[in-house]
Structure 1
């Protein structure tokens, strides 16, 4: 047996890692050959646990997540078969591969020196290397005190609520720690079960997560674990360079007002006024929330890995009732906050490319509130009012779309269920104001008239009083000539405080 394949076999038979001295005793090979193989950091990494030197198994191989893939370098294998729990022999069956010895899988295993591993050993290796299989440890849960620490999602969090120091073996649990030290407690167990991890594997989770942390030390710097104050915590994501670093609280949030002369203010204002005329912006504030930003950044990393490097982040509007503003700045946008009223593309939080669409979700009067958000829309599909969450891609319920849209070819509305896919970056507060509005007739309006070739001209309409619209002299004709759309609009407009508007009228009416 090849030395590399043999080392993998020994490590994976011992929960994915082995003490270096014991490994040497189990491998009959020259010392120089052993050290040469172990020096390959893409396959093995070294760690220290309670003074003992460990070798941890690594691999670049993953389970393939592409439906109908025919030529990748990852395993074509059912995840639940890997776990030993797939009900493939039952009535419903399973459409995914259950053969380690298929032509494709044999080739992939040999490329990675893993052809000697059985199903259980392969499961051990992939659990500690394929980050799509297990939930990450919740680092906000490990900050602060109380039942959920600083975790904004609390009981609904899909990350693992387990003490980081317990995993690294540095926590004096019996003395001063109120974090969870048991994977069988309700929240950790439920989180693992939601990922499909069977109860039979929960007993090995402590060693698996310890190996994950050891592997993290040699991975890309943005995803590593770092040593700080003798605690092993996830490295914080870098804050955006344009933030005011003096106004970033450790917990909670800070709203930083943008100067009207700044380019940042102008960009957001222009984006807003592309579809929102007739409104006056009162303030634009940048929301600075360290915890929400770190969670959003982490979610972006996870999505890019799952979607072949594509996170598909967009800048979108989200209107809300002003009473929810502080809650959103503190805990993010939760779609349940707004209920399920008006969900034509499924349940979730609604975002739009156009501020005009999001305006309908704001307060009905006074100062209105609208967020400009960073949204990880990922891979999206056509939405439907019956959807409780984005549907699965292949019917297997193992791979789902990230969001739903109104039109997959030219989406303007996006629906997101996962709050970690959103960062509420800017808050716009505005009200009806003095900017003149513009009414453009519906695209099919001309086609509905008897004069198909009529020409259009813009005519300003001044409102001399809140109830009396005044047409210019050349537009004072028989009001009966006007289309009912204009009459209705004038009636509606007369009830507002707008002082002027521009209407597009058929030129023939006034010629």
Structure 2
């Protein structure tokens, strides 16, 4: 792509067409729609779909023989509605301040003379910066609301488990038409129903559930899309993601991945495997590369890029054509950083491993290392090294952190530290400790 703005436009467009198509789409269909609109390379497309946090790839129904239909792309966001806003208990947080019934599409105050006391303005002073930060500010309201609904199960009524047991019109549900949960086939929601139109369970919203949902404020449009929203909620939360990775040629097994870890022994000129080594041979414990459409090539001024990257406050490298450390792109082209193994996975006497440091954003736009005191001399119960060990064990985990008398949890999946009591969140960053070329040469000679 020519620049980062092109990449952003593709992401916006792909998100919009996914949301307009019930929140998800087969990979082949998304591929076709994007290439009809943009002149991009295969590498650009696969990189965006695989690396952008906006999209999740999940395996379609097992047994499908069509190779182009083996993957579904679902639109994703970490943005949520603030739960305390409707109780008038929140004024500043990192979640949207919007009327829940406005999102449902059927706020009774929004249609009458009496004005709703909760915001119906996605462009408000509080909401717009959050949408812009998540690059969702260009979505129309309908697409944004569908995205929020399928990513936040708390906004949706539950599917009745009793309806899915027993026989009869209401299954084993004793509340029958008075049930406050949705009567719909659970196998359909899980995309595993074998009976299709012949299924005895509902694959759409029946009249009883419709009336219940309308009483709860859901509009007819949302109710019509609800079965598909449930499917996408299941896809996003059951994590049936493919264990395969995407390359510019398509999907390939992990065993066929390109080498992406730097050999410690080669840096010390002691690798006995030479050209047969399965690791990358490079003279530094880090290597910055750019994908030019044909392959990965080294970036110039690698030490300057690394020095900037190691400072958590930096989102860009120096220079007129910088590397974007958030999107890992340079002028829209994919960028990657190779490195030696994490220091926590090797004994202490190993050197030139990569020491990763974990930071959270402070109150004054500063970044504070975990385990170190803040400006009020309060330190977190968990150190940077302990977070890194947890990350190496499971990079989708959540870790509980205590500071003072407050409890937080750090999510590796979206890199936020959240306070569940006050429903606030702070950004988290993982950056390596800087090692200069001269320091590498000195240690390699030992």
Q: Specify if TM > 0.5.
A: no
With a CA cutoff of 8 Å and minimum separation of 6, indicate the structure with the bigger relative contact order: 2
Q: Structure 1 length normalisation: TM-score?
A: 0.39
Structure having the larger proportion of residues in strand: 1
